[in-house]
């Protein structure tokens, strides 16, 4: 059966940032897909701190600046939360 992707607005994404985060889970966006990076944090070769730089926001640019060769789509399979949409799109 068709399972619709969960839609996530920037305001919800921001509640999963590095600071003032009551959810204790850390999300980022890569190419429009929202990922929960929390389980991956201890395994990142570049360290947790670098990952947290993109928590709560779009990480695509920084990711591609650092290591465009890394296959994030495969690595983060199972960590996908949904897709990023605008606040306006959310109201539809
Ligand atoms: C290294 C994954 C986000 C900084 C790596 C490596 C992987 C990886 C697999 C090893 C690459 C290699 O040796 O060829 C990921 C994933 C990310 C992510 C899945 C997103 C969820 C970021 C971000 C930064 C970053 C946002 C911020 C600048 C680094 C650095 C290294 C690294 C500096 C090099 C570590 C070293 O070799 O000493 N990452 N990364 N990563 N990553 Fe990330």
- Kindly state whether residue 26 falls inside one of the protein's structural domains: yes
The count of structural domains within the chain is: 1
Determine, yes or no, domain membership for 45.
Answer: yes
Q: Which of 26, 45, 74, 80 to mutate to test the pocket of ligand 1 (most atoms within 8 A of CB)?
A: 45
Query: Is residue 14 in some structural domain?
Result: yes
CA 27/CA 10 separation, integer angstroms: 11
Prediction ipTM score: 0.92
List the domain range (segments joined by +) for residue 66.
7-87
Q: Which is nearest to 34 in space by CA: 77, 80, 68? A: 80
pLDDT in tens, 5-55: 899 999 999 999 999 999 999 999 999 999 999 999 999 999 999 999 999
- Strands 80-84, 7-8: pairing is parallel
Q: Output the domain CATH number for residue 54.
A: 3.10.120.10
Residues 59, 46 contacting (CB under 8 angstroms): no
Q: Closest Cα to atom 2, ligand 1: which residue? A: 44
Residue 20, domain member (yes or no): yes
CA of 21 to the centre of ligand 1 (A): 23
Distance CA 88, CA 92 (A): 7
Q: Quick one: CA torsion of 8, 80, 59, 7, rounded to 10 degrees?
A: -10
- Domain membership of residue 80 (yes or no) is yes
Residue 33 domain-assigned (yes or no)? yes
pLDDT digits (tens, 9 = 90+) for 43-86: 999 999 999 999 999 999 999 999 999 999 999 999 999 999 99
């Amino acid at each position: 059966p068709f399972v619709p992707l969960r839609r996530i607005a920037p305001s919800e994404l921001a509640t999963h940032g590095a600071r003032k985060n009551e959810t204790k889970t850390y999300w980022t966006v890569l190419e429009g897909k929202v990922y929960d990076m929390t389980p991956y944090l201890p395994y990142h070769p570049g360290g947790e701190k670098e990952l947290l730089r993109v928590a709560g926001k779009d990480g695509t640019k920084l990711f591609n600046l650092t290591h465009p060769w890394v296959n994030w789509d495969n690595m983060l399979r199972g960590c996908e939360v949904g897709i990023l949409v605008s606040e306006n799109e959310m109201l539809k």
